[in-house]
Every structure is written in C-alpha cells, then in structure tokens.
Amino acid sequence: MNRVVVTADGPYCCTGSLELRSADGQVLATPAETRLCRCGLSRDKPWCDGSHTLAGLAREILHADTVEQSSAAGLLRIRTRRDGPLKLDGPCEVRAEDGTILMRGNETALCRCGRSGRKPFCDGTHRHTGFAAP
C-alpha cells in the first residue's frame, strides 16, 4: 500500500510505488520513499529542505477526509500543481504520524502552501496567499 504520513510539524513522508511529476507532466523521480514539503517554505520544492525547522511552526490540527475501504496496490502518481497543491492519483493512504487514517482512496489533493484550513488537504487557500512553486 502506498502511504503518505503527515509528520508533526514536518514534511509528508511518502512510501510505496511512487511517481513524482512536475506541473507540466515531466517525471521528476520514481522513488520508493521521499519527503515532500508541506509548509510552503522549502527552497527546493517539492522536496523538503528542512526550512520548517527554522520557521518554528506550531503543531497543527489535522482533518480527516473520505475513507474508502479499497486497499488496492498500484502506482501512486504525485503531481505538483503550479502554485498549488500536490495532486495524488492512485491507491494511497494518508495518515497522521500517530497512525490515524486521514484518507484512504485513489485521489486527493494535499496542501503545500502551509495555510489550508483543512490540513493536510488543500482548500484553495494558496490562491489568496501568493504561494509560488514551479
């Protein structure tokens, strides 16, 4: 099962059969494990560069989304959206660091501007904050 773990005050830790793509569709990497920025501060987007540690981000309340029962295997495509979220397509499970399942299914969008009111899920806030990511 592909898994995205939302670490407390840190990055998304992604494991499984992954394909990371840029907003224009270019394959950036096909790792079995990677850490992606969710605070919006990394200078190496979409990857985490540790900038969240310097910003002193506070603990966040995480919100659950639809949980389907599907646990199918397969490729998880993670595509960046220009100045927007990480779009996940394919079987995956999103969990909090304590193991709480926040979402299980085949499609969702994860916040990467750091300001969503539905963290870790995108709520469109990036459109109003000036978030910029290639």
For the chain, how many structural domains are there in total?
Answer: 1
pLDDT for position 134: 75
- Residue 134 placed within a domain: no
pLDDT for position 8:
85
Task: Say yes or no to pLDDT of 80 above 80.
Answer: yes
In a domain, 63, yes or no: yes
User: Which domain covers residue 91, as residue numbers?
Assistant: 3-129
Kindly report the average pLDDT of the chain as a whole number. 91
Which pLDDT belongs to residue 123? 97
In a domain? residue 85: yes
Q: Is residue 100 part of a domain?
A: yes
% of the chain at pLDDT higher than 70: 92
State pLDDT tens for residues 54-78: 876 666 778 888 666 655 789 999 9
Exposure class string for 62-96: b at 16+ Cβ within 10 A, else e: beeeeeeeeeeeeebbbbbeebbbbbbbbbbbbbe
